[in-house]
Amino acid sequence: MYPNDMNYEKLKSRAKYFKENEEGVKKMCEIMQEAYNEGKIEGIDEGKIDVILELLKEKQPLDLIARTSKFNIDRIKNIAKENDIIINE
């Protein structure tokens, strides 16, 4: 949708800023890059959690899981609890 096709002036003004103003375009690029980076980090963490769950199911020691995942032991315990995995300490 093009800014000039919008019915609401405030929305039209902001869309125009982000699409047509050099400073607005730069800001939008920064926002998109930040969102991309956050998504990338979340994806990496999700992959680590999958591995942690497998290691927990295999009854691997918590300190080993913490060292390899770079997650602290409390976080690993929470992951186990959230997934109904009983751990023996």
The answer to whether the pTM exceeds 0.95 is no
Number of domains in the chain: 1
Q: What pLDDT is attached to residue 61? A: 94
What CA–CA distances, in Å, run from 56 to 14, 41, 69, 82? 49, 22, 12, 12
Which residue range(s) make up the domain with 46? Answer: 8-82
The verdict on residue 87 lying in a domain is no
Longest alpha-carbon distance in the chain: 63
Please check whether residue 49 lies inside any domain of the structure. yes
Confidence of residue 1 (pLDDT cuts 50, 70, 90): low
- Asked if residue 16 is part of any domain, the answer here is yes
Mean pLDDT of the chain: 89
Q: Is residue 48 part of a domain?
A: yes
Position 13 scores a pLDDT of 83
Query: Tell me: the pLDDT tens digits for 3-32?
Result: 666 667 888 888 888 888 899 899 999 999
Residue 88 in any domain: the answer is no
Residue 7 CA: distances (Å) to CA of 1, 14, 24, 82: 11, 12, 20, 46
